[in-house]
């Protein structure tokens, strides 16, 4: 990634231009408050003193968040922090978490939501979080029975916008969902 200092401005411009209905699970810039960060901070998020959250995904409390391991991610002015589930055929029955991680923005060439899970059963488990064209694990898009299509569209459209404006060097791959 380049233009790290301009990332906040680019995300704000994208958010203002975004014409589709935005998901209630996506929090951007001024909509980010302590309440939407609390689950992330309890589970995996430790911000540096000079780190400012720019985008928070899955920032509300939910009954499902108590029943399944919490997944989500936070994009800051310095890093992407995330907590994911291990991808396996049995994840729907045995939802084990990957170790929470973070990546410096300078090391990120691509970022997007990928394929829907292919776990045993019919319940929705998550979608692939893809960074630098690698699948890192499953992130649940929202907390309802079905995935949050508005969140999926927002994140992938943001990824395309960041590529088109020089923040990401690898073009996001197109995925077709059911």
Q: Mean pLDDT for the chain?
A: 82
Where residue 57 falls (left for φ over 0; alpha for ψ -120 to 50; beta otherwise) is beta
pLDDT band at 1 (very low <50, low <70, confident <90, very high): very low
pLDDT surpassing 50 at residue 178: no
Residue 118 vs residue 154, higher pLDDT = 154
- Please give the Cα distance from 167 to 18 (Å, whole number): 18
State the maximum Cα–Cα separation within the chain, in Å, rounded to a whole number.
44
Using alpha carbons, list the distances in angstroms from residue 57 to 31, 43, 91, 120, 134.
12, 14, 21, 25, 20
Inter-CA distances, 87 with 27, 65, 116, 121, Å: 25, 18, 11, 14
Report CA-CA distances (Å) from 95 to 87, 118, 119: 9, 13, 10
3-state SS, residue 66: helix
Give the mean pLDDT of 103-113. Answer: 90
Residue range 149-153: mean pLDDT, rounded = 86
The pLDDT of 113-118, averaged and rounded, is: 73
Q: How many residues does the chain have?
A: 178
Among the listed residues 41, 172, 153, 12, the one whose alpha carbon sits nearest the alpha carbon of residue 100: 41
Residue 47: band (very low, low, confident or very high) from pLDDT cuts 50, 70, 90 = very high
Q: Is the pLDDT of residue 25 over 50?
A: yes
């Amino acid at each position: 990634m380049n233009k790290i200092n301009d990332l906040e401005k680019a995300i704000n411009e994208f958010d203002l231009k975004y014409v589709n209905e935005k998901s209630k699970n996506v929090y951007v810039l001024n909509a980010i408050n302590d309440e939407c960060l609390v689950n992330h901070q309890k589970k995996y998020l430790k911000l540096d003193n000079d780190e400012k959250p720019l985008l928070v995904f899955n920032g509300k409390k939910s009954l499902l968040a108590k029943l399944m391991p919490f997944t989500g991610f936070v994009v800051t002015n310095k890093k992407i922090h995330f907590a994911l589930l291990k991808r396996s055929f049995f994840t729907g029955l045995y939802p084990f978490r990957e170790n929470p991680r973070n990546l410096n923005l300078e090391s990120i060439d691509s970022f997007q939501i990928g394929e829907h899970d292919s776990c045993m059963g019919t319940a929705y488990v998550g979608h692939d979080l893809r960074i630098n064209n690698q699948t890192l694990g499953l992130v649940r898009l929202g907390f309802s029975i079905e995935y949050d299509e508005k969140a999926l569209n927002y994140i992938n459209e943001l990824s395309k916008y960041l590529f088109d404006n020089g923040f990401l060097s690898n073009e996001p791959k197109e995925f077709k969902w059911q």
